[in-house]
Amino acid sequence: MSNLNEATIYLNHGAGGRDFDQLLREIILPALGNPILNQTADGAILPTVKGRLVMATDSHVVSPRIFPGGSLGKLAFCGTVNDLAMMGAKPLYLTLGMIIEEGFQVSELEFHLQEIATLSKEFNIPIVAGDTKVVERGNGDGLFLSTTGLGHIEKESLQNKQEIQQGDVIMINGTIGDHGVAILSARENLDFKTTLKSDCAALHELTQSLWNECEGVKVMRDPTRGGVAAALNELAHGAQAVFNIEEEKLPIAKPVASICELMGLDPLELANEGKFLTIVKEENAQQVLKLMKQHPLGEEARVIGTVQSENKTRSQVLCETILGGSRIISWPSGHQLPRIC
Amino acid sequence: MKYIEEFQTKEAVLPLLQQLEEEVNPHKKYRFMEFCGGHTHSLFKSGLIDLLPEQIEMVHGPGCPVCVLPSFPISNVIELMENDSSIMLSTYADLMRVPTEEGDSLLKAKSRGLSIFPIYSPLEALNVAKENPEKKMIFLAIGFETTIPATVAILDQVIKEKISNFFIYCNHLNTTLALESILTSEGGKKLDGLVGPGHVSLVTGSDFFKDHADRFQKPIVISGFTPYDLAKSILLLVEQVNKGEAQVEVEYSRAVTREGNTSSQKLMNQYLELREIFEWRGLGELKKSAFKLKKQYQDFDAKVVFDLKTMEVFDHPQCLCPKVLMGEANPLDCKLYGKACTPHSPYGPCMVSSEGACSAYFAAGKSHE
């Protein structure tokens, strides 16, 4: 058999036969192996899980696949872990589906698997099942990864979440737009240099401490694609409420603000991969904020606004501008387009 | 210069608003037009529009190159590409969502597989052309004088490097004629002054506007784009109106000079000339209002090489964009605004472009209610 480490992926690697077996034993299992995955069965029989089960799934197609502060592999792990975290769940297991384009470098595949493996070991969230397909050259953008996660909620009170009410406080755990700008800076055709890195991170330890140790945490949402603007609008729409955000309080790193000025982009619409919004009962807000700030991923946590009314007939995200004027934060319709002039 | 802190904070801007309150004559109405779509966008995004004294009315001008461009250039290139797969198109991203008469758009055409590249700079387009020597790249060049330097610089490079698969579909517009058209209209005569376009002036120089200020006896203050710049410019306009002056003043002095970017102007004069006539959305047919490549460069002129025709301007019968662009109507006067016409499903160009007045109003949450 050929030496896989210097090779590229070809169609047979996705065909379930001997070549796939070589890929599994020489590349996949050395990175991700654990007692369940090592059985290489069709599925994973898991130990009994207490409490309420929670599942989430995410697919990742980011380009470029490696960028300052992160990678496709890291995103695939953190994305699904964070979705579970937002639901109040403790992530337990992940599955990994890979669609690889014929000709993809094995060394890069190893890189992404190693990124996943490192996080998997750090947080003890094993990859218990997976799938690999290979598509013909031209039919896939290098590598697509899809992860599904299983978690659980043990605390009874979290299973019936409280309704959002007037006076509730809206918070975020840190600066916005970092991931979006890091991706832009890694694209060859946009020539600017920045030391800014993606904020890609697994949030579950921080969120679990808030869900379990604090009262009054009503909902969490991670502002990924579409940014804080999309996440706030989704939350407002879901609750049929009107939010009021104070622009002055939005935490935006200087490089992000500068690049957005230059390119005519709105930091509110840029993706974040290590941030979450949370809506908290007013009387518990200070305690939640204090606890967030004690964690490395929440050091720059801030209150950014309040729930103005639970109108029940319309939803809107209002924004008090820095100058004291008023505008709305619209629900982004799609990709942000750099402005002409 | 701390661009953000010094120009966008309460500490920078509120004292100017205070001065403005003190300077306005409480018994007078001041009607100013901000010509440039970028200024409209900034007024609304910062909330400054709601903080101006009630005596001041801002009328939104046609300085949004995406808004005033008819949609037929887009229809032309889509049709061309559908019949010839060796053709690629690049253009500014703002143009991607503009709806054509047929309900199509460059974004939809891209999803059908046509080779369409939204770019930030024409250099990206040139790089794609070089990487695909067997294909032909058309650069759909739009914008007022602000973006003309980028077009002529790329043409200069294409000629020097003897690149044979790059063509320019020139739809650049002339600010002078647009301004002329506004100032001679009924609405224009009622204006007390203009907030002049900052980035056009960067290229043309502020002296470019002297003739308009003199002929129409209206003060023109060339403004930057931050809330500080706009508040300061409006203050300078009020001061001039109160003194009965009609000067061109440069508030945006950190970028704009009297003579402008002379090396760009040289290239512009070398490669471009004015078309006899061009039909604008909203402003109608204007003579010598749009640019084209000079005849000696016709080998690079997409209009000539691909025989691209000029067609009549299409506007939805209920779309009020033509009047909005002239400052004769407000987005809220339009029956379609906010109902059938939203940024998600735009009927007219003022809603598509982030510089358009309707888009700015919508983003600010202004509604009929």
- For A156-200, how does the pLDDT look when each residue is reduced to its tens digit (9 = 90+)? 776 667 889 999 999 999 999 999 999 888 875 566 666 789 999
Measure A44 CA to nearest chain B CA, in Å.
39
Mean pLDDT of B170-184: 91
Task: Please indicate whether, in this complex, the C-beta atoms of B127 and A189 are within 8 angstroms of each other.
Answer: yes
Digit-coded pLDDT (tens) for A200-211? 999 999 999 999
B363 interfacial to chain A (CB closer than 8 Å): yes
Contact A323 B13 (CB under 8 A): yes
What pLDDT score was predicted for residue A191?
61
B227 touches chain A (CB under 8 A): yes
Query: Tens digits of per-residue pLDDT, A11-35?
Result: 888 888 888 888 999 999 999 999 9
The helix or strand, by DSSP H or E, that contains position A151, with its residue range, turns out to be strand A143-153
pLDDT of residue A38: 94
For B330-347, what is the mean pLDDT?
Answer: 89
CB atoms A323 and B343 under 8 Å: no
Q: Which residue of A has its CA nearest to B360?
A: A327
Tokens of A140: 């896939």
Write down the pLDDT at residue A5: 56
Of A189, A328, A340, nearest to B94 by CB-CB distance is A340
Instruction: Count CB neighbours of A238 within 10 A.
Output: 12
pLDDT score, position B313: 76
Give the pLDDT confidence score for residue A27 in this predicted structure.
Answer: 93
Q: Residue holding tokens 């409209």?
A: B40
Residues of B in contact with A260 (CB under 8 A): none
A337 contact residues in B (CB cutoff 8 A): 93-94, 96-97, 118, 354
Residue partners of A224: CB distance under 8 A and separation at least 6: A79, A231, A271, A272, A273
- How much is the pLDDT for A190? 62
Secondary structure (DSSP) of B273-322: EE-SEEEETTTEEEET-BEEE-GGGGGGBHHHHTTPPP------TT--HH
Judge whether residue B343 has pLDDT over 90. no
Predicted local confidence at residue B126, as pLDDT: 95
Q: What confidence tens digit (pLDDT) does each residue in B14-45 have?
A: 999 999 999 999 999 999 999 999 999 899 99
The per-residue pLDDT for A336 is 65
- In this structure, of A157-171, B181-195, B215-229, the range with the lowest mean pLDDT score is A157-171
Query: A226-238: per-residue pLDDT in tens?
Result: 999 999 999 999 9
The radius of gyration computed from the CA coordinates of chain A, to the nearest angstrom, equals 21
Structure-block tokens of residue B61 = 């001008």
The minimum CA-CA distance between A56 and chain B, rounded to whole Å, is 29
Residue A311 has pLDDT above 70, yes or no: no
pLDDT in tens, A260-299: 888 778 999 999 999 999 999 999 999 999 999 999 999 9
Q: What is the pLDDT of residue A1?
A: 42
Q: Does the distance separating the beta carbons of B44 and A327 come in below 8 Å?
A: yes
B46 touches chain A (CB under 8 A): yes
**B66/A340 CB distance under 8 A:** yes
**Position with higher pLDDT, B75 vs A310:** B75
pLDDT band of residue A341 (cuts 50, 70, 90) is: low
Q: Is it the case that residue B282 has pLDDT exceeding 70?
A: yes
Give me the mean pLDDT over the A150-159 stretch: 83
Cα–Cα distance for residue pair B188/B192, rounded to 1 Å: 9
- Please list, residue by residue across A42-78, b when 16 or more beta carbons sit within 10 angstroms of its beta carbon and e when fewer do: eebeeeeeeebebebebebebeebebbbbbbbbbbbb
| Closest chain A C-alpha to B337 CA, distance in angstroms | 15
Burial class (CB in 10 A: 0-12, 13-18, 19+), B167: buried
**Quick check: A337 and B118 CB within 8 A?**
yes
Closest to B47 (Cβ–Cβ): which among A189, A258, A323? A323
Report CB contact under 8 Å: B4, A261: yes
Q: Which of residues 135-194 of B touch A (CB under 8 A)?
A: 142-144, 146-147
Residue A277's beta-bridge partner residues? Answer: A172, A221
Q: What is the pLDDT of residues B70-120, one digit of tens each?
A: 889 999 999 999 999 999 999 998 888 888 888 899 999 999 999 999 988
| % of residues, chain B, pLDDT over 70 | 98
- Chain-chain contact of B120 with A325 (C-beta, under 8 angstroms): no
- Specify the higher pLDDT residue, A9 or B348: A9
Asked if this assembly's ipTM is beyond 0.90, the reply is no
Average pLDDT of span B123-139:
95
What predicted TM-score, i.e. pTM, was given to this entire model? Answer: 0.88
